[in-house]
Amino acid sequence: MPIGVFDSGFGGLTVLGALRERFPEQDFIYFGDTANAPYGERSAQEVVDLTIAGCRYLFGRGCGLVILACNTSSAIALRPMQEYFVPADRRVLGVLVPMIEAIAGRPYRGDKRAEAAAQNVLFFATPGTVKSGAFERELALRVSGPRVISVACGGLVSALEGGDKAAAERIVERAVAEALEAAPEPEMAVLGCTHYPLMEAAFRRALPEGVNVLSQGVLVAARLAEYLERFPQFASCGGALELVTSGDVAVVREEAARLFGVALPFKAM
Ligand code: DGL
């Protein structure tokens, strides 16, 4: 069974890259809903409907487990999907919980909340993710202690996809300045959007020295390793990769190559 990786577009390739590095023998199907991206500034209902449609496609392609690489989908759609949509023999995992478990310093199994190693955590994400409050909610369930300062980086995804590096840097600087005004001495920063690792250097420049910037791809891969140990039925071997888009294949190939610097053989769904 291939593992499905769902994203609103091609930003989720940052997560897929880390997964492929950790699991070179696993089969993956990546589906980017580029025709409907970006999700970060859509209504909650739209995000839920589109994420369900994307997962339905991946289930239809034989995936038993789907990872929502998109933070906006993970924040807004994951809980309702797990309650009302995911069939009993399939699984959907998001990308926020691995970040939260990194803050907790251990996986959560419904037990006592962990003491956080950090007092002030900065959380940067799309407007939709920040508005959902999901990160704070899921964190509070698992960890006691840290204060979360969430800042929406509106326009950052579009600036990056449009190739406007200067605008992207300005948005990062503004967002970090806003966060530091609320918490001048943070210990951790979470880049809660698929695209933000592409701006990690700018975030690090703007943040005070010594802030631990959590790396989502690596954390998601580590969580998946642990998950597959418990549920080996969702693993496969072969190392095949399919990249599928709902958008215009030529445009997606060109934009993804510009953003990631390599040719990516996307095909139509
Ligand atoms: N994939 C989205 C996320 O991680 C960013 C792009 C979008 O807004 O669709 O939140």
48-103, pLDDT tens digit by residue?
Answer: 999 999 999 999 999 999 999 999 999 999 999 999 999 999 999 999 999 999 99
Q: Does 55 participate in catalysis according to the annotation?
A: no
- Closest ligand 1 atom number to CA of residue 40: 8
- Closest ligand 1 atom number to CA of residue 8: 9
Whole-model pTM? Answer: 0.95
Residues 249, 1, 94: CA angle, nearest 5 degrees: 70
Distances (CA, A) of 60 to 30, 79, 149, 233, 238: 13, 21, 39, 17, 20
Residue 38 near ligand 1, beta carbon < 6 Å: yes
- Closest ligand 1 atom number to CA of residue 195: 5
Residue 216 near ligand 1, beta carbon < 6 Å: no
Q: What pLDDT does 113 receive?
A: 83
Give the model confidence (pLDDT) of 175-207 as tens digits: 999 999 999 999 999 999 999 999 999 999 999
Residue 8 near ligand 1, beta carbon < 6 Å: yes
